[in-house]
Structure 1
Amino acid sequence: MPRLQAALSMSSLEPITDPGRSPSSKQVLLAEIALLLHELHPDDRYPPEPRLDSRLDRDLGLDSLTRLELMARLEQRFRIEIPESAGFAAATPSDLLKALHGARPRGTIGVSSVLELARREHLELPVAAVTMIEVLAWHAERHPERVHVHFSGGTADGIELTYRALQGAARRVAAGLQSHGIGPAEPVGVMLPTHPDFLCAFFGIVLAGGVPVPLYPPLRPNELTEYWHRQAGILRNCGARRLVVDDALYAHRRLIRSLTGGVEHLLTASGLSSGSAAYEPVAAQPDDLALLQYTSGSTADPKGVMVSHRNMLANLRVMGGFIGVDASDAFVSWLPLYHDMGLIGAWLGCLYYGAPLVLIPPQSFLLRPERWLWAIHQHRATLSAAPNFAYELCVHRIGDEALEGLDLSSLRLAFCGAEPVFAQTLERFATRFARHGFRADALYPVYGLAENTLGLTFPPPGRGAHVLHVERDRFLSSGHVRLSEAPMTLPFVSCGTVLPGHELRIADPDEHELPDDRQGRVQFRGPSACAGYYRNPDATRAFKRGAWLDTGDLGFLHEGELYLTGRVKDLIIRAGRHLHPQGIEQAVGDLPGVRRGRVAAFGAAVPSAGTERLIVVAETRLHDESERQALRLRIQESVAGLAGEPADEIVLATPGTVLKTSSGKLRRAACRAAYERGRLGSHTFWPMLAVLGRGALVAGSVRAGRLGALAFSGFAWLALGLLTLPALFAVALLPTVAARWRVVRGLLAAVQHATGIPLVLTATATLPPSPCIFVANHASYIDALVLVLALPRPVTFVAKEELARWPLARMLLLRFGAVPVARFDPARCTAVVEEASRSGRDFLFFPEGTFKRTPGLLRFHLGAFAAASKAGLPLVPIALRGTRSVLRAGDWLVHHAPLSVIFGAALLPNPDAEHWPETLRLAGVTREFLLAHCGEPDSGSPELGP
């Protein structure tokens, strides 16, 4: 107790500005260690006494994360920056004391011109490249001395790597691997820190015909035993016989070989490069593997995503093209290179587009988060990326004094992904750093996964974060989305629309596609999608859903944009309510007294109740029982606000209890297993009768809902089928188009009434008299049927010529007054309209010409607008909303969803304007109206249509 009191007293002293001359440095260091030990083990009556020669790991039990926390406290206390190499290598308090003496005072950072010259040079892109080898060769041949990567911090601080240097070093590594007998497509482990050796080894393996397998390195070599327990499964799965490590790990080669088993050759990048063998080029094909990307947390059943060169280039090109990356950008990244966001998004993305990259070791960021922001300032970076927790860490960990003079105004996109994105975090970050030039519209929440190489959905650049507030109780009980401004809502952040060329859908457990505003499983397909998992056929089969691939995530689509709600495996089903742990964890982590980012929420099964109990584990440093009880009450209040009911049990745990992966993600399954074994706190399993009853009722209603959806679809098709024959007779036999139109419209109204699908008609202005041109967006097979119901008078549909190739279809179209026209022939459209307008007929065009299953307004064909301009006819835009949700392309399941038809004000062509500019003006104004009312994103521009 006296030692703890001394530690508390010492830790409350004023900051020390010169640790090298202060006689109290030793006492402060030992006091901070003692305080940390007490926080970790508050109930330990006999904690280890820290001495200068104590081993930080063996004697004091401080793991890597705790040592990072200790170094951060020491830096804050002494207002210094500890040399990272010395700080991370420290094995004893004595080593840390030496590091303190060698530290430099914190100072301001000016703007660097290191990368400016490179950024001024315009670069063409390797658009013809079909492998990443060709991408590197392209840049090395055309601008060999251009700076590719600048290293900041760590052992490589200040080193710059040009394209020529990267290619040359990679070829030397490849030659070394070839001399060691590397086989075709042989996996090679890469266990290197953020250093030029990683980049050279990665490309050296590819150039030699092998497949790199990035693995995260241990923070300190003497932690190998615990580290390998988590990583051995990956090496066994990929069958790597060769492992590239740094010199520090190579010094422990005997221990590593005894731990790895299958690894036969332990290599270093420097050793591979030092040989005299010449590199023999290996022919690479687009479908060859570019890397194996193992998902974090994979230990017992590792899953190595097989990413081909074709996948890689498809994803890099679509992501960069969507956000407009070019060589004038600069990217600052502290993300680990063994993680897809850091490896592909930061490094390989910058490689393809020729944008300079600044790499910071991840430990540097965790130790001093402000270093990331100052690097953006120093290099005038335009792009950066981080998970949600990093933005939160910057808000709460960095003091104002460390930000004096910081300027973030150069940043145009700050990606936020790799884990759930929270609206509160984005708002706090934007507010905190607005005074330092950060623009809120730079925040860029995205969604991606290794199985799609990296990116899958992006929002419009420069829009900023878009948040929906959803009615809580309805969503938790049924998964239906209803927007609300009431107090009890759930906020969800948009991750944007699916990237061009890719497709996304939301599916129910029976693999039926769901309409918008319904929660389900997020599934995708496209050119970036991987073929499966390496040497894991069971996981590959579970991943595939017919032509679709299952992300394992839950979400919903609203107006074409994806909103993630949680992971399927993390979903807590409590009395029929579907609870997502991420929001609960974020809210509880914001409470005073709770360690931020150290909260886990999960469901504990109660077989007798047929439901789960909601367990919340929160780390805290509070020891006083009254304070802990008050904290429990605050947690219960917060949980009840999100879940509608309190948690079944709250475990207030000591620091270090909540388990995480190597990349900082919560291991909820491991936490649940530890809890059920009694390792996280006392617990009981008394099920509540009310929970049991409601759980059974809601579970039954969910099953009934699925059957009801199938029954409704069958009934809708039956109703339509029964009225098809009368409609065909009416079209074939009635003498006039007007009579045919009236009968078909009446039959469709009967179908709508029978199915109960609501249809809302809205007119923003009075419709002009005939003749005029109607223009509508196209999203579903039922668009024409809905328009027949909605239009107040018969119109002439301008149908694509392909529909008239079948005799029956041609007869029906002509009898109904439709005009077949080639979509790519504006002159023919104009001639048809001019000829028919003299008879006072109205026309209706779908200027997109077709529709796809993915939401989005496609590019326009300009025939309708050219016809209106040429003939001087008024043009009326019509926005259809909801038709895609009722019946989506490629899915014959009819859903019950509301329909809306919004008539815009007539656009009058300017008779004095030139024809082509007026055509474009009409198309542009029409597009603006449709985008404002159709509830779908923009998937093209009118100027690009033929």
Structure 2
Amino acid sequence: ITVPEARKVAHLLRAQVPDLKHIVTVAELMASSVTAVPPALSGNDIAFLQYTSGSTGNPKGVVLTHANLLANIRAMGQTVRVTSEDVFVSWLPLYHDMGLIGAWLGSLYYAMLLVVMSPLSFLARPERWLWTIHRYRGTLSASPNFGYEYCLKRLKDEDLEGLDLGCWRAAFNGAETISPDTLQQFTSRFANHGFHAGAMMPVYGLAESSVGLAFPPLNRGPVIDQIERSTFMRSGQAKPQPGSGEHALRFVSSGSPLPGHQIRIVDTAGQELPERQEGRLEFRGPSTTSGYYRDADNTRKLFHQDWLDSGDLAYIANGEVYITGRIKDIIIRAGRNIYPHELEEAVGNIPGIRTGRVAVFGSADTRTATERLIVLAETRSRDDVEREKLRTGINTLATDLVGAPPDEVVLAPPGTVLKTSSGKIRRAASRELFEKGGIGKRQRSLPWQVTRLALAGVLPQTRRMLNSLSAMAYAVYCWLVFAVLAPVAWLCATLLPGDTLRWSAVRGCTRLLAKASATPVRVSGLENLPTDGTACVLVANHASYLDSYALVASLPGTFRFVGKAELAKTFIVRRPLENIHTEFVERFDISKSVSDSRHLSDVLQAGHTLMFFAEGTFTRIPGLMPFHLGAFKVAAEAGVPVIPIAIRGTRSVLRADNWLPRRGSIHIDIGPAIHPRDLEQQAGKDSWKTAIALRERCREFILRHCGEPDLA
């Protein structure tokens, strides 16, 4: 889904992204006449994927369920005491977790007014944000630290005449490193416009915890911890430094974990650390993700038993969390930890350096096997003398802050320092650009970039075309094999004498079809089938037209399918099915369905096994639908066991409404028999209650083994 201006580029990308099927605009979606069917959802279903910012690596898709989001919104609302009388003012984009979950979904849940403005409007004229709070009497609003810094640097006193921020009771500051200076300066400057110091709330959160994880107490204001720089950089101990603290390190408290959530600080061995000792921040709670979408390796790294690794370094003091930096961003030099954000902020304040456009990172030195300290800073200056002064200033500043000058200072043109879509510095990507020698190179012209993008898609497009031709050839081949075997199976089922001979011939044809089409059918649990000829009810899920073929090919002995009466209307279908004793039942005529039920009970009493597809039908959408009660009622009345059978893979090979079979494998799991007499303690002698209990037990097994979601 994109904007009209980006469609042409999107079509070029389509050649390189195999899963990209359609490119549409919002207007086209709105004009569609297709009516969406509301899905059947539970709290554990996925609500959406929230991608991490990518500031320290490639973005990862965080799986968030409806229950995760509701738990987080409720916990944040409880901490801030949100009511429907509040007014949330937001300029944050919807791809930002604070904008989507905190502002939009939070306002929806608490039925409060949400006043929305464009991020571009804020960037062009930041005073619009503050005046919108003034006009609508906003009580809640949020921004990353740079938003508050932007207001401080861009706004003049005349822009603020008459501004009243006395209504603003919670100003959330999070999503990136929080600057103590920014907090103090914003609070001080806007106090003249009614802004309360207690309204400023430095918060901590991450995508893996939906959005929020730690909040400070309401109406307290920021708490800044001043600690000894050398001790902390050497040992990670956050030892308080009283006095003016000219060379001290300062970190901002993010408060305590939200209700129902927990945070701990651990060392590299996973042992919990005492207060004021820096370590890895781990967390758990109802808002936490189950993992990264289709990324098993990173999901394993995320979990340490039932705790999740935040990727952040922090310490706890007086029960409150102080974030010190991202683990991947920390630079180790001469046994000391260097924290990039402090140096970046200080360098950005040097006249001539672009604020917020500085990246500090470590780069491996292959000769000495150590890490070099690199400062990459953007400047518009082209004067050699001026640039040399900037380098000298950066070296002096770095020496004061971290005890040594950088190994290299790179002054780059505007647009060099890479950022995420939410404005965070991409230090890892900037380091990669530096190490590849890509800094300072002129960008190619637009026609060249478009041509290169188009050429880059030729090979993937050709490969995809060959794959499509291969898939089509396979489908044609499968239908040719079917066209040969189907008449043979029909004649065998129609003309051969005796059930055993007919079943052997039909089973041989289905197995030959599976072998010729290279579709392995794997079966487990055959030992759960009766071997003494005892009648039972077999119940399977229904996912494809191939289900019947797979069951005939894999199950031993003979059994009778229970099929819909509509199948008996056509001679070419009815004749072979009748000859293998398929029982046709009426689905829509209640009086006939009652007599059909009695007849099926008689069939079971006579010693014949019945095979039911309990869902009654199948669709192209993966998922286990509700089970009809018929099979279980018949089993309860006849007093015979029910054996659940989970079929997996047939929907992938041949989907409903699609006549092109695809390569794949089929798995059939046969569960242990469930006997009505074993459920008497739960259901008593009531056959109706017994049937319901049989259905629940049977469906539980099939849902566990069919590999598809629950649609009931």
TM-score by length of structure 1 reads: 0.45
Partner Cα distance (1:391, 1:622) in 2: 27
Native 8 Å contact 2:374 2:408 kept in 1: yes
Equivalence for 1:528: 287
Partner Cα distance (1:536, 1:275) in 2: 34
Q: Give the direction of change, closer, same or farther, for the CA distance of 1:316–1:398 in structure 2 (3 Å limit).
A: same
Equivalence for 1:639: 398
Task: Indicate yes or no: 2:200 matched with 1:443.
Answer: yes
User: Which residue, out of 257, 262, 271, partners 1:498?
Assistant: 257
User: Which residue, out of 309, 314, 319, partners 1:555?
Assistant: 314
Native 8 Å contact 1:297 1:662 kept in 2: no
Native 8 Å contact 2:55 2:419 kept in 1: no
Matched residue of 2:213: which SS? strand
Native 8 Å contact 2:55 2:426 kept in 1: no
Q: Give the direction of change, closer, same or farther, for the CA distance of 1:557–1:606 in structure 2 (3 Å limit).
A: same
- Amino acid of the residue matched to residue 509 of structure 1? T
Equivalence for 1:334: 91
Name the % identity.
53
Equivalence for 1:482: 239
* Alpha-carbon shift at residue 407 of structure 1 (Å): 1.6
Task: Indicate yes or no: 2:370 matched with 1:611.
Answer: yes
User: Which residue, out of 587, 590, 601, partners 2:349?
Assistant: 590
Task: Indicate yes or no: 2:114 matched with 1:349.
Answer: no
- Amino acid of the residue matched to residue 582 of structure 1? H
Equivalence for 2:46: 289
Task: Indicate yes or no: 2:113 matched with 1:373.
Answer: no
Q: Give the direction of change, closer, same or farther, for the CA distance of 1:489–1:543 in structure 2 (3 Å limit).
A: same
Partner Cα distance (1:577, 1:681) in 2: 31
Partner Cα distance (1:367, 1:336) in 2: 15
Q: Give the direction of change, closer, same or farther, for the CA distance of 1:583–1:532 in structure 2 (3 Å limit).
A: same
1:657-683 CA distance string (max 9 Å, x none): 21112221111112112222233379x
Q: Give the direction of change, closer, same or farther, for the CA distance of 1:256–1:612 in structure 2 (3 Å limit).
A: closer
Task: Indicate yes or no: 2:333 matched with 1:578.
Answer: no
Partner Cα distance (2:166, 2:55) in 1: 39
- Amino acid of the residue matched to residue 152 of structure 2? V
Matched residue of 2:167: which SS? coil
Partner Cα distance (2:228, 2:35) in 1: 66
Partner Cα distance (1:261, 1:371) in 2: 43
Equivalence for 1:906: none
1:8-49 CA distance string (max 9 Å, x none): xxxxxxxxxxxxxxxxxxxxxxxxxxxxxxxxxxxxxxxxxx
Equivalence for 2:142: 385
Native 8 Å contact 2:56 2:328 kept in 1: no
Matched residue of 1:587: which SS? helix
Native 8 Å contact 2:231 2:237 kept in 1: yes
User: Which residue, out of 387, 397, 419, partners 2:154?
Assistant: 397
Partner Cα distance (1:625, 1:301) in 2: 36
Q: Give the direction of change, closer, same or farther, for the CA distance of 1:622–1:323 in structure 2 (3 Å limit).
A: same
Matched residue of 1:376: which SS? helix
Task: Indicate yes or no: 2:276 matched with 1:517.
Answer: yes
Q: Give the direction of change, closer, same or farther, for the CA distance of 1:291–1:396 in structure 2 (3 Å limit).
A: same
Task: Indicate yes or no: 2:439 matched with 1:680.
Answer: yes
Q: Give the direction of change, closer, same or farther, for the CA distance of 1:594–1:478 in structure 2 (3 Å limit).
A: same
Q: Give the direction of change, closer, same or farther, for the CA distance of 1:604–1:380 in structure 2 (3 Å limit).
A: same
Equivalence for 1:203: none
Equivalence for 2:407: 648
Partner Cα distance (1:526, 1:263) in 2: 35
Partner Cα distance (1:251, 1:652) in 2: 35
- Amino acid of the residue matched to residue 498 of structure 1? P
Equivalence for 1:414: 171
Q: What pairs with 1:20-169 in structure 2 (closer than 5 Å)?
A: none
Partner Cα distance (1:351, 1:647) in 2: 49
Matched residue of 1:245: which SS? coil
Partner Cα distance (1:609, 1:519) in 2: 28
Equivalence for 1:462: 219
* Alpha-carbon shift at residue 296 of structure 1 (Å): 2.0
Partner Cα distance (1:298, 1:471) in 2: 28
* Alpha-carbon shift at residue 373 of structure 1 (Å): 1.2
Equivalence for 2:389: 630
Partner Cα distance (1:623, 1:271) in 2: 47
Q: Give the direction of change, closer, same or farther, for the CA distance of 1:253–1:556 in structure 2 (3 Å limit).
A: closer
Q: Give the direction of change, closer, same or farther, for the CA distance of 1:299–1:458 in structure 2 (3 Å limit).
A: closer
Native 8 Å contact 1:490 1:642 kept in 2: no
Native 8 Å contact 1:291 1:306 kept in 2: yes
1:853-901 CA distance string (max 9 Å, x none): xxxxxxxxxxxxxxxxxxxxxxxxxxxxxxxxxxxxxxxxxxxxxxxxx
Partner Cα distance (2:366, 2:269) in 1: 24
Q: Which runs of 5+ in 2 are unaligned?
A: 442-712
1:231-287 CA distance string (max 9 Å, x none): xxxxxxxxxxxxx33455558774464454422123444444445555543221110
Native 8 Å contact 2:56 2:427 kept in 1: no
Equivalence for 1:433: 190
Q: Which has the larger radius of gyration?
A: 2
User: Which residue, out of 54, 60, 83, partners 1:303?
Assistant: 60
Partner Cα distance (1:245, 1:336) in 2: 15
Equivalence for 2:117: 360
Partner Cα distance (1:416, 1:473) in 2: 28
Matched residue of 2:424: which SS? coil
- Amino acid of the residue matched to residue 413 of structure 1? A
Equivalence for 2:228: 471
Native 8 Å contact 2:56 2:426 kept in 1: no
Compute the RMSD of aligned alpha carbons.
2.1
> How many pairs does the alignment contain?
439
Partner Cα distance (1:547, 1:253) in 2: 41
Q: What pairs with 1:638-717 in structure 2 (closer than 5 Å)?
A: 638-680=397-439
Partner Cα distance (2:11, 2:270) in 1: 51
Q: Give the direction of change, closer, same or farther, for the CA distance of 1:302–1:592 in structure 2 (3 Å limit).
A: closer
Q: Give the direction of change, closer, same or farther, for the CA distance of 1:430–1:264 in structure 2 (3 Å limit).
A: same
* Alpha-carbon shift at residue 440 of structure 1 (Å): 2.0
Native 8 Å contact 2:170 2:199 kept in 1: yes
- Amino acid of the residue matched to residue 74 of structure 2? R
Higher relative contact order (CA 8 A, sep 6+): 2
1:56-76 CA distance string (max 9 Å, x none): xxxxxxxxxxxxxxxxxxxxx
Partner Cα distance (1:308, 1:573) in 2: 38
Q: Give the direction of change, closer, same or farther, for the CA distance of 1:247–1:592 in structure 2 (3 Å limit).
A: closer
Partner Cα distance (2:9, 2:379) in 1: 37
Equivalence for 2:22: 265
